[in-house]
């Protein structure tokens, strides 16, 4: 009995010791995991806060030294990045929960009745267009300022000044909302069909075996690609629909060169170069190399226990940022977690600006700004947003379209009539590159090659020098409205001696409206201050175009614009010029 009793005691002690050791190990392991998850945790007081007077509908949009938010009362409010209220626009009706801003700070949104509205940087309405239904996601801004507008089952493409270029209709609503791809077009999906539409409305479609949950556009060693993500963590690479070797299997078990399978469903993903960062439903973040076909690293974000069903990602030269209702996390490119923070009672996903400030709209009707990184944006981005990634090659005649350029006057007249009819009907579409080459050549009357950067240096069109045709061509360039053509029009202005052609080029620049670098206004300013033209027609056109650009862009361009217009109201200017300048000044007050 005694021996048995002692054995029982010994076994109990041994069991207790083993359990204690295991418990200590488990607690230590959990503590280590907790410490690792909280690495980089920051808790900051708001840099500033502002009462909004309504609940936030859309995630804040930060651009051009200001942030805008859409409110449930039908208002759009703007604040400087320092927290100063800038303007409050009433849409006079309910609005859709999507706001976009262009590089120069123009705001685009819609009422729920299908009215698309553009506001300038100062909060003044520029134009309205009826698109039939409210926005189904954010307006996508193209490289030259054009707008890709998603509503219900349609995509509309407008110029920045509101001219309809083309539209496309689909059978069903969008499953994945349109986003800008690496070629300056848009990608989106409808169920298991993935679409890419280029800037001119030309469409490619891939029919997949399953419905993707996200799409990312990337550029790897083989060119531009679309990566489709699926619910089970598998991925596929889509490329040119005109080749047979663009499709790679997502199952790594089946195809050894396929992409790896993610350990969980992706919430959001973003591409940068040949890499993709994805945040998963369990909160982990992964970086994938397309060239190496493998996951480079995995880290923990602020997302816990699958409490977030949606997220946004930023992947750029600064690093990788994960944004969701519950907070935000930042990683370096090599996988180091730089910081992590949590949000309470956020109404929408926050926004993170180039200035290192996190903007979050609370359910308590307050907009909070948290300074997390001490970041100084590049000088050229201080007044405007980031420079676009590329160009649509609409600023110079393209040699490939030269054979189709008409030569005889009756052919030229017919082509101008064809383009005018299409512009009026909103059906420019895929003809835009060829027609733009024709109009650029006709506008410049290029008869011989010039120096680099001058009109005519690429294509010798031999077009007749008919002033009526030239002016018609310039007017159409203004209506088609690509910002890419502004340098070409300025070259015509600087080289041309005929006042009517110079005035037409100036008016076309005003019709286009965008001038984010301020090159047009600087040219106008120099022309006025140095008396480079005394022609009444040219000076009147400068006054008109200056007013148009200032109305579109608002400050800071309007400051130099007001100086131009004030100089044109001087007593030594012709009466028509003074009258036009005074009218434009009135519209800017």
Q: What is the CATH number of the domain that holds 291?
A: 2.130.10.10
In-domain check, residue 578? yes
* Mean confidence (pLDDT) of the chain: 85
In-domain check, residue 389? no
Q: Which of 96-100, 224-228, 304-308 has the lowest mean pLDDT?
A: 304-308
In-domain check, residue 349? yes
Q: At what angle do helices 432-444 and 486-495 cross, to 10 degrees?
A: 10
- Tally the residues of the chain: 589
pLDDT class for 222, splitting at 50, 70, 90?
A: confident
Name the nearest CA neighbour of 311 among 342, 347, 348: 348
DSSP 8-state class, residue 522: H
Question: Distances in Å between the alpha carbon of 375 and those of 288, 336, 372, 572?
Answer: 26, 18, 9, 48
d(CA 554, CA 102): 13
Q: Which two tokens stand for residue 82?
A: 């320092």
Say if CB 87 and CB 80 are below 8 A apart: no
- Both 421 and 284 in one domain: the answer is no
How far apart are the two ends of the chain, measured CA to CA in Å?
104
Name the strand (E) or helix (H) holding 266: strand 266-272
Q: Which two tokens stand for residue 308?
A: 């977030």
Exposed/middle/buried for 313, CB within 10 Å: 0-12, 13-18, 19+? buried
Phi, psi of 394 (to 5 degrees): -100, 0
Say if CB 404 and CB 431 are below 8 A apart: no
d(CA 367, CA 358): 10
- What residues have CB less than 8 Å from 517, skipping those under 6 apart? 384
- Both 366 and 451 in one domain: the answer is no
| Residue 534, helix vs strand vs coil | coil
In-domain check, residue 387? no
- Both 446 and 576 in one domain: the answer is yes
Each residue's pLDDT tens digit, 396-454: 999 888 777 787 888 999 999 999 999 999 999 999 999 999 999 999 875 333 333 33
Q: What is the CATH number of the domain that holds 420?
A: 1.25.10
Question: Distances in Å between the alpha carbon of 350 and those of 62, 98, 148, 219, 330?
Answer: 10, 13, 23, 28, 13
Exposed/middle/buried for 389, CB within 10 Å: 0-12, 13-18, 19+? exposed
DSSP 8-state class, residue 162: S
Sheet with 327-331, strands from edge to edge, namely 312-315, 320-324, 327-331, 337-342
Question: Distances in Å between the alpha carbon of 91 and those of 66, 115, 523?
Answer: 20, 10, 36
Phi, psi of 174 (to 5 degrees): -75, 135
Q: Which two tokens stand for residue 111?
A: 């009422």
Say if CB 38 and CB 57 are below 8 A apart: no
Name the nearest CA neighbour of 370 among 6, 60, 28: 60
- Please tell me the pTM assigned to this model: 0.87
Alpha carbon 165 to its chain centroid, in Å, reads: 18
Q: Which domain holds residue 20?
A: 1-37
Each residue's pLDDT tens digit, 135-154: 999 999 999 999 999 999 99
**Highest mean pLDDT range out of 201-205, 250-254, 408-412?**
201-205
- Both 403 and 286 in one domain: the answer is no
Structural domains of the chain, count: 3
Is residue 4 predicted with pLDDT exceeding 70? no
Cα dihedral angle (20, 22, 25, 31), rounded to 10 degrees? -80
More confidently predicted of 239 and 477: 477
- Both 172 and 29 in one domain: the answer is no
Name the nearest CA neighbour of 127 among 90, 163, 176, 156: 163
- Both 32 and 129 in one domain: the answer is no
- Both 72 and 159 in one domain: the answer is yes
Name the nearest CA neighbour of 71 among 50, 110, 97, 33: 97
- Both 158 and 285 in one domain: the answer is yes
Name 197's bridge partners.
186, 203
In-domain check, residue 541? yes
In-domain check, residue 393? no
Is residue 243 predicted with pLDDT exceeding 80? no
Examine the fold and report which residue of 331, 347, 381 is the final residue of a domain before the chain moves on: 381
At residue 463, the pLDDT reads 39
Say if CB 480 and CB 159 are below 8 A apart: yes
- Both 272 and 338 in one domain: the answer is yes
Alpha carbon 460 to its chain centroid, in Å, reads: 36
Examine the fold and report which residue of 381, 415, 441 is the final residue of a domain before the chain moves on: 381
> Buried (b) or exposed (e) across 498-507, using 16+ Cβ within 10 A?
ebbbbbbbbb
Say if CB 149 and CB 135 are below 8 A apart: yes
Q: Which of 26-30, 318-322, 337-341, 522-526 has the lowest mean pLDDT?
A: 26-30
**Highest mean pLDDT range out of 316-330, 399-413, 515-529?**
316-330
| Residue 573, helix vs strand vs coil | coil
Exposed/middle/buried for 380, CB within 10 Å: 0-12, 13-18, 19+? exposed
In-domain check, residue 483? yes
- Both 361 and 411 in one domain: the answer is no
In-domain check, residue 391? no
- Both 409 and 294 in one domain: the answer is no
- Both 92 and 163 in one domain: the answer is yes
């Amino acid at each position: 009995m005694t021996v048995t009793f002692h054995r029982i005691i010994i076994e109990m002690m041994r069991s207790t010791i083993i359990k204690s050791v295991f418990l200590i190990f488990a607690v230590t392991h959990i503590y280590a995991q907790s410490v690792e998850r909280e690495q980089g945790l920051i808790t900051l007081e708001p840099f500033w806060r502002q009462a909004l007077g309504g609940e936030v509908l859309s995630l804040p949009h930060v651009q051009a030294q200001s942030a805008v938010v859409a409110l449930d009362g039908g208002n759009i409010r703007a604040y400087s990045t320092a927290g100063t209220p800038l303007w409050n626009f009433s849409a006079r009706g309910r609005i859709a929960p999507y706001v976009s801003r262009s590089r120069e700070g123009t705001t685009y949104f819609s009422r729920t009745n299908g009215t698309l509205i553009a506001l300038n940087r100062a909060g003044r309405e520029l134009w309205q267009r009826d698109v039939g239904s409210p926005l189904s996601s954010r307006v996508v801004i193209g490289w030259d300022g054009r707008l890709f507008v998603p509503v219900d089952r349609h995509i509309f493409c407008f110029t920045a000044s509101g001219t309809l270029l083309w539209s496309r209709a689909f059978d069903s609503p969008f499953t994945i909302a349109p986003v800008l791809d690496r070629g300056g077009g848009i990608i989106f999906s409808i169920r298991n069909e993935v679409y890419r539409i280029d800037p001119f409305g030309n469409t490619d479609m891939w029919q997949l075996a399953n419905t993707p949950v996200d799409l990312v556009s990337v550029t790897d060693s083989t060119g531009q690609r679309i990566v489709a993500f699926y619910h089970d963590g598998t991925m596929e690479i889509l490329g040119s629909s005109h080749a047979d070797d663009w499709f790679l299997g997502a199952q790594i078990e089946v195809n050894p060169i396929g992409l790896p399978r993610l350990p969980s469903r992706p919430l959001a993903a973003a591409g940068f170069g040949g890499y993709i960062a994805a945040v998963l439903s369990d909160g982990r973040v992964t970086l994938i190399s397309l060239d190496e076909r493998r996951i480079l690293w995995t880290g923990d974000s602020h997302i816990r226990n699958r409490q977030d069903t949606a997220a946004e990602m930023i992947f750029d030269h600064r690093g990788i940022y994960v944004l969701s209702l519950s907070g935000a996390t930042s990683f370096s490119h090599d996988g180091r977690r730089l910081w992590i923070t949590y949000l309470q009672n956020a109404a929408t996903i926050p926004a993170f600006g180039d200035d290192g400030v996190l903007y979050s709209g609370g359910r308590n009707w307050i907009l909070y700004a948290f300074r997390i990184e001490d970041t100084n944006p590049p000088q050229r981005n201080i007044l405007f947003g980031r420079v676009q990634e590329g160009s649509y090659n609409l600023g110079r005649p393209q040699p490939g379209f030269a054979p189709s350029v008409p030569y005889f006057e009756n052919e030229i007249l017919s082509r101008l009539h064809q383009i005018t009819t299409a512009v009026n009907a909103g059906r420019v579409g895929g003809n835009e590159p060829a027609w733009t080459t024709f109009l650029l050549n006709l506008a410049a009357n290029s008869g011989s090659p010039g120096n680099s950067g001058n009109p005519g240096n690429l294509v010798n069109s031999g077009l007749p020098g008919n002033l009526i045709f030239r002016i018609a061509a310039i007017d159409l360039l203004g209506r088609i409205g690509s910002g890419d053509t502004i340098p070409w029009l300025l070259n015509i202005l600087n080289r041309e001696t005929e006042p009517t052609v110079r005035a037409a080029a100036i008016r076309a620049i005003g019709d286009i409206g965008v001038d984010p670098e301020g090159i047009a206004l600087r040219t106008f300013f120099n022309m006025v201050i140095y008396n480079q033209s005394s022609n009444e027609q040219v000076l009147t056109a400068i006054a008109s175009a200056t007013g148009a650009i200032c109305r579109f862009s608002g400050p800071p361009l309007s400051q130099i614009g007001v100086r131009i217009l004030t100089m044109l109201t001087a007593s030594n200017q012709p009466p028509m010029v003074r009258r036009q300048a005074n009218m434009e000044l009135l519209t800017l007050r």
